[in-house]
Amino acid sequence: MSAAERNYLGAEFLTWLFFHLEEHGFILSLPDAFQKSEGPVGGEVTFASGSKALLTRRDTGAGTIRISHMELHDSTELLQALRQRALIDQMELQCSVGYAVYRFSLHAESAAILGLKVEAEESTEGHDGDGPTDNSIEFKIERRMHAVEDVDRIVHTLYERFLTQRLATEWHRKDVLQMNERVKNRLAKFI
């Protein structure tokens, strides 16, 4: 797959993800992202939109559209850009898995998870003395690696769902039309 194809499919994924999260109230059940012994009950992951996004109009090749808004899902600028057939190239997200809260950006072209930050960590109450303590460098590295693994599994699971839907015959007849209709309806509320 060429870089251009990967970029286009990545931008379609991020655009789909924005609508998919919104459609499901930013709460998704992703049990296939976690092993049975780990992860939240039922695999429930809560998302929130970040405050920044980059979009590009694919049909005209016009420049990048930068959007900064307290919450992207409430941004009329984002909706206007999507109405004009722009696709999301980069988007900030937050996801909560149990007590852990991760903030990061997804990048379409490189399929990268950028700027991963752990905003709240799982409770370490009842620490039995085995393994690293909260203040040790080993604990911090272990916590960071766990965060990377969590977010990677979540994004991978979402990408698999996207591909299943994207490769279905009704993608253009149903899914794209529904996304366009949602943009139109949301913009009508602001007028």
- 22-69 pLDDT, tens digit per residue, is 888 888 888 778 766 566 666 789 999 888 999 988 776 667 888 888
In-domain check, residue 87: yes
Helix pair 137-166, 3-23: axis angle to 10 deg:
90
Give the total number of structural domains in the chain: 1
pLDDT at 124: 47
pLDDT at 40: 66
Residues 6+ apart with CB under 8 A from 155: 106, 113
Mean pLDDT, all residues of the chain: 82
pLDDT in tens, 97-118: 888 899 999 999 888 899 999 9
In-domain check, residue 8: yes
In-domain check, residue 189: no
What is the pTM (predicted TM-score) of this model?
A: 0.82
Beta strands (DSSP E) in the chain are 27-29, 44-57, 64-68, 86-97, 100-107, 112-120
In-domain check, residue 152: yes
In-domain check, residue 48: yes
In-domain check, residue 117: yes
Yes or no: say if 107 and 156 are a contact pair by the CB < 8 Å rule. no
In-domain check, residue 171: yes
Domain with 165, as residue range(s), is 3-124+133-182
